[in-house]
Chains A and B, each alone.
Chain A
Amino acid sequence: MFVPSYYEFVNPGKILSGKYALENIASEFKLLGSSRVFVLSDKVLNELGQVKVLCDALVSGGVQVVGTFVDIPADSSIEVVNRIAEIYRQANADSIVALGGGSVIDTAKGVRMLISQGGNDIMKFVGAEVLPFARHVPFAAVPTTSGTGSEATAVAVIKDGARKLKMEFISQFLLPDLAVIDERFTVSMPARITAMTGLDALTHAIESYSCLQKNPVSQSYARSAIMMIIENLDKCISTPSDRKARLAMANGSLLAGSAFSNSMVGIVHAIGHSLGGVCSLPHGLAMAILLPHCMRFNLEKCDEDYAEILSFCISPEEYAAVPRKERGLKCVEVVETFANAIAHDAGLSLKLSDNRIDKASFEEVAARAINDGAMIVNPKAVSKEDVLAILEAAY
């Protein structure tokens, strides 16, 4: 296994995974010295009654829910963060629980950072690894999609609404104290979302495994994630109520999150972010479309890593039958076949042209992609022309 000349790894917070995980948040919070919880979520989850399930669990466990904010938009922003922090202070809360997908959890990370650091505007804290530790605000993240892994990452991406830019915050103090996976929230995800978020998680694991920051710990996490995702994602789509498969996917997503939080993702995310920004293509779908093409692009630099990844995806017998020199390429093909099958089952197309992407936007997408922070850890240098060629191949 690869050991870099130097690496760092920030462990995720405490993981509570499985049956009645929610019911254990209260006792954990009491240990952390808090009793006045502020709950963040979105409209849909509130209407589905999920927020109530959470609050019931908290109050039954002996903490108070002193405020809720359930209007977090799918595309949250700095302004929303600043507003929620204001409400949090008025409620005199002392801890945060976020229930939702990536947007809700990232918003909550922003709110927590602002409460912890003080002040009215989170924009002051943009950057990588510069924030000092401030006041501790106990924070639990409960993911309802299995994809972003945000419950286990030290990163938050929040839009600056005024400038229409995604701002990136990186700090170990963004990590939730508790990553809570409760199977009650995983079974209701529709097939399309399951497919997109699941392939996003797979992309996290594969990119993390093969990009420049890879290290023994991140690769161990990524490896487990890849195995769980390959084994369970199709089951989650064919049998949505399969709790075992759902729980495994949620764990895969969490591990992939922790892996990429420490060994950052590369070109797939760089291009995916800009396709999202310019053409509003959903993140998971962008990942699913771009992953095989970008793997092919990186193959010359990632051959060995891909060969290892292949061994996580197929049986030992099949693996042994592939000549050593062809394993990297075979991995790309296996991943491509897997992504296509998942997309097919969920009724998605993995072509840009089928997803209302206009070729006219390629220039801007490419220009933005090479400025994306994720490019810095991609093992192969990427020019604007390279991005254009990948977009063309994915069209």
Chain B
Amino acid sequence: MVMNNNISIHKKISNSMKSLVARIVLFVLYRGIKVLAREDSRIMGEFQSWPDGLSVVLETSYNGPSISLQKKGDRLVRVSHSENANIRITFRSIDAAFLVLTGQIGVARAYAEHRFMLSGDICQTMSIVRCIDIAESYLFPRLMTRRILRKVEKKEFSTIRVYRKIFVGV
């Protein structure tokens, strides 16, 4: 009997590269939504409609990088990983997460392709999806968003301003 439990080197490299990129994009996405929840009228509206204390976990695969967020008052904060989040989105592979996080497919397409599993209320998730779509309109180049979003939302201010706030904070 031949065991075959060793992942080959190129898959290993691919996995860790994708994990690294995922970790960075997750951070940018989180900071982006946090900034936009204060500055973009639409995301602000969505965010205010969430119940206080709502917790969301986004996992890029069963063992990949993840991010846990919670609404605390009027702020979105990063919290430590919890098994009991209200909404848990788990990509079925790091490759699937990579497709979405690098803007190769949109969230709607990813849903259509069963790229992630969802536990929690689906209506609540729709609001989060809209926020991600709007955030992507800012964070990704238009060439990309035109292809992956059903509708590219009008930006209320420039992408540069969002990135400046994400990384510099002012």
Contact = CB atoms under 8 A, between A and B. Distances in A.
Contacts of A167: 121
Contact of B120 (A126, A371, A377): A126
B168 to A, nearest CB: 32
Interface string B108-140: 110111110111111111110110000000000
A364 to B, nearest CB: 13
Contacts of A370: 126, 130
On chain A, which size bracket covers the interface? 20 to 34
B122 A381 contact: no
B151 interface: yes
A23 B112 CA distance: 38
Interface residues of B, number: 26
Nearest to B119: A127
A213 B110 CA distance: 10
Contacts of A264: 112
B155 interface: no
A378 B115 CA distance: 17
Contacts of B88: 130
Interface string A341-377: 0000000000000000000000000000011110111
Given A5-B113, A6-B113, A375-B126, A127 B120 contact: yes
Interface string B129-170: 110000000000000000001110000000000000000000
A373 B150 contact: no
A381 B137 CA distance: 14
A379 interface: yes
Given A6-B113, A213-B112, A377-B112, A168 B126 contact: no
B118 A380 contact: no
A8 B114 contact: yes
Contacts of B149: 381
A55 B150 CA distance: 51
A4 interface: yes
Contact of A372 (B113, B126, B130): B126
Contacts of A376: 107-108, 111-112, 126, 129
B54 to A, nearest CB: 14
A87 interface: no
Contacts of A381: 149-151
A4 B114 CA distance: 12
Interface in A209-237: 212-213
A6 B115 CA distance: 9
B147 to A, nearest CB: 13
A180 B135 CA distance: 47
B113 A371 contact: no
Interface in A89-145: 126-130
B150 A379 contact: yes
A20 interface: no
B122 A128 contact: yes
A126 B109 contact: no
Given A370-B126, A371-B127, A377 B111 contact: yes
Contacts of B108: 212, 376-377
A5 B88 CA distance: 25
Contact of B118 (A5, A129, A378): A129
Nearest to B115: A6
A379 B151 CA distance: 10
Residue from the set A5, A8, A376 with the largest chain B CB neighbour count within 10 Å: A376
Interface in B83-126: 88, 90, 107-109, 111-115, 117-126
Contact of A126 (B115, B119, B151): B119
A303 to B, nearest CB: 16
B102 to A, nearest CB: 15
Contacts of A213: 112-113
Contacts of A372: 123, 126
A130 B121 CA distance: 13
A127 B118 contact: yes
Interface string B16-27: 000000000000
Interface in B23-71: none
Contacts of B107: 376
A134 to B, nearest CB: 15
Interface in A152-169: 165, 167-168
5 contacts: A127-B117, A128-B117, A129-B117, A373-B126, A376-B107
Interface of B: 88, 90, 107-109, 111-115, 117-127, 129-130, 149-151
Interface of A: 4-8, 126-130, 165, 167-168, 212-213, 264, 370-373, 375-381
Q: Which 9 A-B pairs have the closest CB atoms?
A: A381-B151, A127-B119, A381-B150, A373-B122, A128-B118, A213-B112, A212-B112, A130-B119, A371-B123
